[in-house]
Structure 1
Amino acid sequence: MESASDHSEDREQASREATEWFVRLNNPLASEETRRTYRVWLMADPAHHDAMREVSELWGALDRPAAQLAANGWHRVTDRPALQPRGWLTGGFRFAAAGIVTVALACGVAVWRDVGMLDRAFADVATRPGERREVRLADGTTAFLDGDTALNSLMGEELREITLLRGRVWFDVVPDKTRPFAVHAGRVDSRVLGTAFGIDREAGVVTVERGEVAVSDVEVTRGGPVRLTAWQSVALQDGSLGSPVAVDPDQALAWRRGLIILDRVPLSHVVEELSKMAPGRVVFADPALKHLTLSGTFRADDPGAVLEALQSALKLRILSVPGFATLIYR
């Protein structure tokens, strides 16, 4: 006898497969072979039809290819009642969901759901969302990459250069008095000889664990670099590089230990953390929600706990297609 757990897993599997088919059929270049394979999948199990309908309703519109395939009703089981649209697919919510689909199709579904794909494709070293990785660079320096991070490395005779394309990384730099170690991360440049430090490109933050780091804003040359020592940090603030501040060793680089510590941070920052923890876009139905704040300590491999906190602490609602998109609304 099939258990409730088995039934739930079957439904989740059908939902994942339906989502994949929804994306593939929305591709204007979808081949006839793809459509034939879709028909075979759809006929294989009545649960596939239900899952496809649910995914289509979820995003506000059934894509044209799937609608044409379903027009004759050959895939329906005659003794199963037609599904009625859910109540939450009305008004502003339906409009927001339809907007997500429009953006996805216009920009290309794959790139829309994973904005870091192109950066990672052209990087020397990269991690996908949800993946964390330690690597040894050519000079022996250790680099620990958080999720959705990409970097290029150039070890020259006079300078060791890292270009951080996206994400955040912690370096334990091998000392070399003849070849400084430089990291370019957007507007922020960091230069060291031998030290351990972390840098977050999107946040424009550099944090030193050991040694000394000179940090510069490439767009502002006056005043010279900001020099950081152990457990000091500096960040881009209001368009310029701020002053060094002391940081809590237990919190400053907690992400490297697999922890995400949030202390009254706006949801716009929470979304950045979620993008590192799991694949798929996070979208706000109302942009004003970005200014709400959240506190808590979470494991970096448990994005579901962050979403649960949004629901319980802020009374927000979450609608998610795993690996594709998550919609946050009231």
Structure 2
Amino acid sequence: MTSQPPTAAAERLLDEACGWVGKMHSGHFAPDAQQQLAAWRATDASHEQAWQKALALWQGMEQLRGRRIPGAEPLLTERNRKPAARGRHDIKRRAYLAAACCAALAVSLAAYYPPQLWQADYLTQKGEQRRISLADGSRVTLNSGSAVELHFDGTVRRIELLQGEAFFEVAKDADRPFIVSTDGPEIRAVGTAFDVHRLAGRTDVELVEGVVELQDAAHKHRLRLQAGQAASIGAGNIDIQPQPRAENMALWRDGLLQFDGLPLGAAVAQINRYRPGKVVLLNQTLAETRISGLFRLDALDQAVTSLQTAVPQLQIVQITPYLLVLR
């Protein structure tokens, strides 16, 4: 299964589904409305998927029902006012409020967890790493800000890397190939150890041991990697990368971050993958300056200071402990 980034159409369908959920819980849901909802859900698979997400959002709000909301108490002048009888207008209002709450929750969740991550079985936050033992004996180590979805059955072991980077140590099973996919590109192995990093427009692979077969997103090119090799998979191409040293592959698993002639702009982006907050490079004239170094992931402020040592004209301004500006 491949994950697609949220589109305007998907967001519109989720809004419509939230509207239907609100109407259903408004206390006035006529039989003809039920038929209209059934027809809406049956339009295609995307409509039903949006409906299931809206239901899940609504159910997630159950724990809030009945709780006191600060500021919701009536004013003194309102407390003795006789409540008005509920009419059709009030029913509609309740439906709109329910739909609005559902949609607001959807927006809030999307801000912290993009829709493509809702299907994740395992994920990590920024600066977090996690090691997972799978049912078949394989192991997956997730890097900072990463997510995977598992699809194991009797014939295949498939993992979708939804975001970020992961290191795979694959248990041998000749009857069930082990496949890692990243929205098109695929890495197929039987018993091996390799690193996969999903980036915008490409997937980088480093093979520590064993053999893997790569396939591009268009399914037009295949390539076998041998231990110690690295490659980059694009939409319609696979490129072998300069062979890295075996001891330098996936150093993040050892809590280390290495720059080997990396442009300053790319180095700052790497630091931002792990460090809480944000480092902003304002001086773009220095962005292509090459730097090298080995740093601990739990001491990245020292890495930022080392950037100034490597590029003396660089100035570091601390706005807050979480916001550093390089100029």
Do Structure 1 and Structure 2 share a fold, with TM-score over 0.5? yes
Aligned to 2:213: 214
3-state SS, counterpart of residue 136 of structure 2: coil
CA contact (8 A) 2:147 2:162 kept: yes
What corresponds to 1:197 in structure 2? 194
- For 1:274 and 1:110, locate their aligned partners in 2 and report how far apart those are by CA, in whole Å: 26
Out of 149, 165, 169, the residue aligned to residue 172 of structure 1 is 169
Residues 264 and 295 in structure 1, CA contact (< 8 A), matched pair in contact too: yes
1:262 has 2:259 as partner: yes
Correspondence for 1:63: none
Contact 1:228-1:244 within 8 A present in 2 as well: no
In structure 2, how many angstroms separate the alpha carbons of the residues matched to 1:286 and 1:186? 35
User: In structure 2, do the counterparts of structure 1 residues 277 and 140 end up closer, same or farther at CA, with 3 Å as the change threshold?
Assistant: same
Q: In structure 1, what residue type is equivalent to 2:180?
A: V
2:125 maps to: 128
Report deviation, 1:284: 2.9
Cα distance change, pair 284–244 in 1 and its aligned pair in 2 (3 A): closer
Decide whether aligned partners of structure 1 residues 178 and 238 sit closer, same or farther in structure 2, where only a CA change above 3 A counts. closer
Question: Structure 2, unaligned stretches of length 5 or more?
Answer: 1-68, 72-106
- Equivalent position to 2:314, from 306, 312, 316: 316
Q: Percent identity?
A: 29
1:285-305 Cα offsets, whole Å, 9 max, x none, are 244443232210111222112
Out of 318, 324, 327, the residue aligned to residue 326 of structure 1 is 324
Rate the CA distance shift 1:122–1:272 in 2: closer, same or farther, 3 A: farther
Q: Which residue, 185, 209, 231 being the options, matches 2:228?
A: 231
Q: Which amino acid in the other structure matches residue 166 of structure 2?
A: V
Report what 2:300 is aligned to: 303
Q: Secondary structure at the match of 1:246?
A: coil
- Corresponding position of 2:147: 150
Which amino acid counterpart does residue 234 of structure 1 have in structure 2? A
- Residue 271 (1) aligns with residue 258 (2): no
Q: 8 Å contact 1:139–1:174 — kept in the other structure?
A: yes
The structure with the largest alpha-carbon Rg is: 2
**What are structure 1's unaligned runs of at least 5 residues?**
1-30, 34-107
8 Å CA contact 1:119–1:150 kept in 2: the answer is no
Whether the 8 Å CA contact 1:188–1:217 is kept in 2: the answer is: yes
User: How far off is 1:121 after superposition?
Assistant: 5.2
Verify the 8 A CA contact 2:217 2:235 in the aligned structure 1.
Answer: no
> The residue matched to 1:303 in structure 2 has which SS?
helix
2:138 corresponds to which of 116, 127, 141: 141
Decide whether the 8 Å contact of 1:207 with 1:234 is kept in 2.
yes
Q: SS at 1:175's partner residue? A: coil
Q: Displacement of 1:118 after TM fit?
A: 6.0
How many angstroms apart in 1 are the aligned matches of 2:109 and 2:294?
Answer: 31
**1:240 and 2:237 correspond:** yes
Deviations 1:58-90 (A, max 9, x none): xxxxxxxxxxxxxxxxxxxxxxxxxxxxxxxxx
CA distance in 1, matches of 2:137, 2:290: 40
TM-score, length basis structure 1: 0.59
Contact 1:162 1:184 in 2 (8 A): yes
State the shift of 1:167 in Å: 1.5
For 1:238 and 1:302, the matched residues in 2 are separated by 36
Q: Confirm or deny: 8 A CA contact 1:277 1:302 kept in the other structure.
A: no
* Equivalence for 1:281: 278
8 Å CA contact 1:154, 1:160 repeated in 2: yes
Q: Which moved more, 1:313-322 or 1:128-137?
A: 313-322
In the TM superposition, residue 172 of structure 1 has moved relative to its aligned partner by: 0.6
Cα RMSD over matched residues? 3.0
Report the CA distance shift for 1:281/1:178 in structure 2 as closer, same or farther (over 3 A). Answer: same
Shift of 1:110: 10
**Counterpart amino acid of residue 256 in structure 2:** L
Q: Deviations over 1:22-47 (max 9, x none)?
A: xxxxxxxxx987xxxxxxxxxxxxxx
- Partner Cα distance (1:118, 1:272) in 2: 24
Residues 128-185 of structure 1 show CA distances to partners (whole Å, capped at 9, x for unaligned) of 1111111112322101111111111111222111111221111111111111111112
Q: How many Å separate the matches in 2 of 1:268 and 1:111? A: 28
Of 205-214 and 135-144, more deviation after overlay is shown by 135-144
Tell whether the 8 Å contact from 1:139 to 1:155 is kept in structure 2 after alignment: no
- Which amino acid in 1 is paired with 2:176? R
